[in-house]
Amino acid sequence: MNKLLKIGCFLGIFSLIACEFDTKVPADETIPTTRKEEVPLTKQFSDYWYSGKAELNSYALKQSRYGEIREGEVVLVFVTEPFSQSKQVKLDHPQDAGEDNVSVLKVNNIRKFSTGIYDYSIVTSTFTPVSAINYPHTLKLNTSIQEWCGHTFTQLNLKENAYQVQEFSYFEKDGDTETTIPVALLEDELMTRIRLHEGKLPLGEIDLIFSTIYSRFANQELKPTKATISKTELDTTVIYTIDYLSYARKVAITVEKEFPYKILSWTEDDGDGLLTEATLKKSINEPYWNQKKVEDEGKREELELLQ
């Protein structure tokens, strides 16, 4: 199968999923539609994701690193934002942006744990358009990793049918590089795809680009590689299993069967006998960007955060 045919099949999968949405338009039009062919979303979807709040989720973390399991914490922040397709940044004045305004579901994945005396703090931000028909690929992804030895930064920007990859590092072996890789589904966008497409992922063999955290930790090059996605349905949940065919990496994501399809847990197995696990502790919806006062710190207790 040639490269163009592969891309066409991938787009077809996500177009089919997007077409399954209810075609009712909310009475109070709150969705920032910029194109006439945009697929209308359900009122349930718009009431939840365009409510002026973010979904905040805390997870207990068991992190595999340096041959041992470490205790830590993950926070997933899901929120819709107006995003510039050309500049690939959040728009300050979306009402003036016209067709450059793309509604995205952003997830900030904040992962913290300690190794011995020193800490790791990792943030991954993924910007996936709400409309898979008009915008079938995630527009932007970046990951920063800070620890006491130094820090690294990785960013992918969609440029036509390829990702421009920039990597910066304190460490010589990583270097500062800029490359281009063929477009493919990102492991880092699987959670936004699940939330946007009624808890669904494409099944079967597919080209997939490694998680940016795994790429750094395992010194693996970011590139499309073969993986299979399968699912197991239980009474109230669905488990998606992602198996890389040429690498010892397996990821499993447990999702609610019903809207809003929250991520309940996930595991990462890198073939070293140690399993990274994240399990949901608490989920709340809040406009956290307005909650900056000392009195707002009570929300941290509600989320059961460690620090």
Distance CA 74, CA 59 (A): 5
Q: Report the SS3 class of residue 186.
A: strand
- E-strand ranges in the chain read 54-65, 68-84, 101-115, 118-129, 140-147, 150-159, 162-169, 177-182, 185-186, 204-209, 224-233, 237-244, 250-256, 263-269, 275-286
Distance CA 248, CA 250 (A): 7
Burial (CB count <10 Å: 0-12, 13-18, 19+), residue 41? buried
- Whole-angstrom CA distances from 108 to 40, 127, 208, 254, 278 are 26, 9, 20, 18, 15
Q: Whole-prediction pTM value? A: 0.87
Token pair for 146: 């800070």
pLDDT in tens, the chain (307 residues): 444 444 444 444 444 333 333 333 333 333 444 443 444 689 999 999 999 999 999 999 999 999 999 999 999 999 999 999 999 999 999 999 999 999 999 999 999 999 999 999 999 999 999 999 999 999 999 999 999 999 999 999 999 889 999 999 998 877 799 999 999 999 999 999 999 999 999 999 999 999 999 999 999 999 999 999 999 999 999 999 999 999 999 999 999 999 999 999 999 999 999 999 999 999 999 999 999 999 999 999 999 999 7
